[in-house]
Structure 1
Amino acid sequence: MNKFSAVHDLVSSLEEDFEKFYEKGNKAAGTRVRNGMLDIKKLAQEIRTEVSEIKNSKK
């Protein structure tokens, strides 16, 4: 559950930058959003791998 909390915290931390980019057109905020989304992707892949390993070990 710790990794889920990390994903949740990361998404929450990007909320302000999403607003700045989409509502105000702030390009620097867009860069921060892109970098944050990459971090989310990496963390999501780690979670997927961990879930698969746990699932397969119970067979």
Structure 2
Amino acid sequence: MDKFKQVQEVIASVEADVTKFYDGGNAAAGTRVRKAMQDLKVLAQEIRAEVTEKKNTAK
């Protein structure tokens, strides 16, 4: 559950940069968005592994 909270925090923290990039054309904000998306990808994979492990040990 901690990792899911981290996902929510990353999304909340990058929201302003998404607006700056798409609405303002700020290239540096785009770089920050790309990094945040990579962090989300890693967190999502870790959550998937935890869910699979928990599901398999519950049997």
Partner of 1:40: 40
Identity of aligned residues (%): 58
Shift of 1:49: 0.2
Structure 1 runs (4+) greater than 3 angstroms displaced = none
Deviation per residue, 1:2-57 (Å, 9 max, x gap) = 11111000000000000000000000000000000000000000000000000001
Q: What corresponds to 1:9 in structure 2?
A: 9
Q: Structure 2 unaligned segments of length 5 or more: list them.
A: none
- RMSD (CA atoms): 0.5
Q: Measure the CA separation in 2 of the matches of 1:58 and 1:6.
A: 25
Structure number with higher relative contact order (C-alpha < 8 Å, ≥ 6 residues apart): 2
Could you list the runs of 5+ residues in structure 1 that have no partner in the other structure?
A: none
Which residue of structure 1 lines up, in the alignment, with residue 22 of structure 2? Answer: 22
CA apart distance, 1:58? 1.1
